[in-house]
Amino acid sequence: MKKLFIITQFLALFNSTAVMGQAPGKAVGNFVIGLVLPLEGSQAVLGEEALAGIHLAASDLMKEDPQLAAQISLVVASDKSKPSGAKEAALSLAKRRVSIFLGSLTRSHTEELAKVAAKERKPLIVPFACADENPLKGARVFHSCFSSPWQGKLLGNFAGETLRRRKAALLFDPQAKPDVAIVDLFRKSFEAKGWEIVHREYFDSSSILDFMPHIEVILKTEADVILFPSGDRHKAERFLKQLAMKKVKLPILGPTSWHQRSLANAFPGGIENYFVVPYSTELETPEARHFAREFAKQKKRRPSIIAALAYDAYQLAARSFKNAQGVGEKELTRSLEQIKDLPSLLGSANMSAERFLERPGLVMQMGRGRFFFRGLVSP
User: Tell me: the pLDDT tens digits for 4-45?
Assistant: 323 323 333 333 334 433 333 333 348 999 999 999 999 999
Q: SS3 of 196, please?
A: strand
- Is 69 a member of any domain? yes
What CA–CA distance (Å, rounded) separates 369 from 183?
27
Is the per-residue pLDDT at 271 higher than 70?
yes
- Is 354 a member of any domain? no
The percent of residues above 90 in pLDDT, for the chain, comes to 66
- Is 19 a member of any domain? yes
**111 vs 18 pLDDT, higher one:** 111
- Is 353 a member of any domain? no
Q: What is the pLDDT of residue 266?
A: 84
Is the per-residue pLDDT at 175 higher than 90?
yes
Lowest mean pLDDT among 70-74, 156-160, 200-204, 264-268: 264-268
**167 vs 371 pLDDT, higher one:** 167
**305 vs 269 pLDDT, higher one:** 305
Is 136 in the same domain as 226?
Answer: no
Q: What is the pLDDT of residue 280?
A: 83
- In sequence order, the 6+-apart residues with CB closer than 8 A to the CB of 356 are 130, 135, 143, 145, 146, 147, 150
Q: What is the pLDDT of residue 211?
A: 95
- Is 356 a member of any domain? no
Q: What is the pLDDT of residue 13?
A: 33
The band of 130, judged by pLDDT with boundaries at 50, 70 and 90, is low
- Is 316 a member of any domain? yes
**280 vs 40 pLDDT, higher one:** 40
Q: What is the pLDDT of residue 321?
A: 95
pLDDT tens-digit map of 179-234:
999 999 999 999 999 999 999 999 998 877 799 999 999 999 999 999 999 988 89
Lowest mean pLDDT among 1-10, 235-244, 249-258, 277-286: 1-10
Strands (E) across the chain are located at 31-37, 72-78, 100-103, 124-126, 141-143, 167-172, 196-202, 225-227, 252-253, 273-277, 342-344, 347-351, 357-358, 361-366, 371-377
What CA–CA distance (Å, rounded) separates 151 from 162?
15
pLDDT tens-digit map of 341-352:
998 888 899 999
What CA–CA distance (Å, rounded) separates 209 from 307?
38
- Is 6 a member of any domain? yes
Is 163 in the same domain as 222?
Answer: yes
Q: What is the mean pLDDT of the chain?
A: 87
What CATH number has the domain bearing residue 165? 3.40.50.2300
Is 295 in the same domain as 265?
Answer: no
Is 72 in the same domain as 208?
Answer: no
Is 159 in the same domain as 239?
Answer: yes
Could you count the other beta carbons within 10 Å of the beta carbon of residue 144? 29
Is 116 in the same domain as 177?
Answer: no
Is 208 in the same domain as 288?
Answer: no
Q: What is the pLDDT of residue 91?
A: 97
Is 70 in the same domain as 113?
Answer: yes
The band of 148, judged by pLDDT with boundaries at 50, 70 and 90, is confident
Is 137 in the same domain as 165?
Answer: no
**284 vs 301 pLDDT, higher one:** 301
Q: Mutual orientation of helices 150-157 and 177-192 as an angle, nearest 10°?
A: 40
Q: What is the pLDDT of residue 209?
A: 76
**Please, are residues 277 and 256 in contact by the beta-carbon 8 Å criterion?**
yes
Is 155 in the same domain as 140?
Answer: no
Is the per-residue pLDDT at 373 higher than 60?
yes
The band of 131, judged by pLDDT with boundaries at 50, 70 and 90, is low
Is 131 in the same domain as 155?
Answer: no
- Is 57 a member of any domain? yes
pLDDT tens-digit map of 77-103:
999 999 999 999 999 999 999 999 999
Is 8 in the same domain as 157?
Answer: no
Domain span at 332: 2-146+284-345
Domain count, the chain: 2
